[in-house]
Amino acid sequence: MATTKRKRATTRADNQASSDDLLKYYREMLLIRRFEEKAGQLYGMGLIGGFCHLYIGQEAVVVGMQAAASDEDGVITSYRDHGHMLATGMDPAGVMAELTGREGGYSQGKGGSMHMFSKEKNFYGGHGIVGAQVPLGTGIAFSYKYREENKVCMTYLGDGAVNQGQVYEAFNMAALWQLPVIYCIENNQYAMGTSTQRHSSSPDLYERGKAYGIPGEQVDGMDVLAVKAAGERAVAHCREGKGPYILELKTYRYRGHSMSDPAKYRTKDELDKMRKEHDPIDMVKKLLIDGNIVDEAGLKDIDKEVKAEVAKAAEFAQNSPEPDVSELFTDILIDA
């Protein structure tokens, strides 16, 4: 049984990514950001209803983790899920159309922002109850082990979810049964409006598996390469059959908890500092420019492509019809 590793204070990666990789991460992160900005805009126009939790600022986490995973691996997360869907390769138009509650959405408009799935892309939601996805993701990992498939389930949770009891029930079983699950704790420092200092007796969330012998690492979640490197260590651990792994990805969300959160619990300076000094997209942009991988014009071309893709998604999401009223009564039970 592995024991908790020493604290690796904000592990930074050796810059080993290829030019193509860097361009890919840049594009993927930018797609998430532009998508989320557009979602915020459509929400403001009343085209998206209910709750809408944006991922802006946290893009390096899911893009870095997906870079470490294979397409066959499973992904499950909470309700701040748009970034994860895009990172697993789900179609932005289908995701946006679900946000607008239309027929063309991934759940045909019946799930919404917090409840979306793609079996094809191994994305298992999109769960609206804080922490509930953790036992579910552990169960997905259980199925991999049961069927002797060499897959890993990336189970994302926020710093708010780490105080839910069922998280530890899942940690215990995952360690007990050596299940291939990576618990990716996205520590964006605020559980809705309550800071980590105010909600957690110990701020080091990567240590939360210590009692179960689950190794944990703290990672700079604003650095996509650091995330990828840590993700690779975690994936290797799982694939070797050594059981679960915890990554605490220190990140920051630029927007409020949901669209209607004015975020009064933090200072403008704090936010500005993160944006200016730790922006995950700017970081990769700098690597691309400094490494002469691409020039400003080349970046502009990528920006335009991404913007066009998002614009197309937004257009589809507004033009796709609302679900047929007959859909009200479908998908409740499967015919036995």
Positions 21 through 80 that interact with another protein (CB under 8 A): 33-34, 37-38, 40-41, 43-50, 56, 76
Q: Which stretch binds another protein (CB under 8 A): 63-71, 116-124, 182-190, 191-199?
A: 116-124
Please state the φ and ψ torsions of residue 225, each to the nearest 5 degrees. Answer: -75, -35
Shortest distance in whole angstroms from residue 178 CB to another protein: 13
302 to each of 87, 222, 298, how far by Cα in Å?
17, 21, 7
**To the nearest whole angstrom, how small is the minimum distance from the Cβ of residue 203 to another protein?**
25
- The closest of 238, 195, 272, 288 to 68, measured between CA atoms, is 238
Nearer Cβ to another protein, position 67 or 317? 317
Q: Based on the shown chain and the rule CB under 8 A, indicate whether residue 331 belongs to the binding site for another protein.
A: yes
Find, among 123, 34, 42, the residue nearest to 111 by Cα.
Answer: 123
The yes or no reply on residue 333 touching another protein (CB under 8 A) is yes
Smallest separation, CB 298 to another protein (Å)? 16
Residue choice 125, 158, 216, 221 for contact with another protein (CB under 8 A)? 125
Minimum distance from CB of 232 to another protein (Å)?
24
Q: Does 135 bind another protein (CB under 8 A)?
A: yes
User: Quick one: 79 exposed, middle or buried, by C-beta within 10 A (0-12, 13-18, 19+)?
Assistant: buried
Q: Which is nearer to another protein, 50 or 291 (CB)?
A: 50
Residue 275, SS3 per DSSP = helix
The nearer residue to another protein, 291 or 321, going by C-beta atoms, is: 321
Nearer Cβ to another protein (66/100): 100
* Cβ within 8 Å of residue 20, ≥6 positions away: none
Out of 107, 196, 200, 251, point to the residue binding another protein (CB under 8 A): 107
| Secondary element (H or E) of residue 245 | strand 245-250
Q: Which of residues 235-274 bind another protein (CB under 8 A)?
A: 254, 259-260, 262
Q: Which residue, 9 or 45, is less far from another protein as judged by CB?
A: 45
- Cβ-based nearer residue to another protein, 217 or 309: 309
Determine the distance from the C-alpha atom of residue 293 to the mean position of all C-alpha atoms in its chain, rounded to a whole number.
27
| CA of residue 55 relative to chain centroid, distance | 8
Contacts (Cβ under 8 Å, ≥6 apart) of 43: 52, 259
Query: With contacts defined by CB under 8 A, how many residues of the chain interact with another protein?
Result: 74
Considering only residues 308 through 327, tell me which ones interact with another protein, judged by CB under 8 A. Answer: 322, 325-326
297 lines the binding site for another protein (CB under 8 A): no
C-alpha radius of gyration, the chain, whole number: 19
Calpha distance 297→28 (Å, rounded): 18
Binders of another protein in range 168-207 (CB under 8 A): 168-170, 172-173, 176
Instruction: Enumerate long-range contacts of 267-275, CB under 8 Å, 24 or more apart.
Output: 274/57, 274/222, 275/57
Residue number with CB closer to another protein (9 or 262): 262
Q: CB of residue 295 vs another protein: minimum separation in angstroms?
A: 17
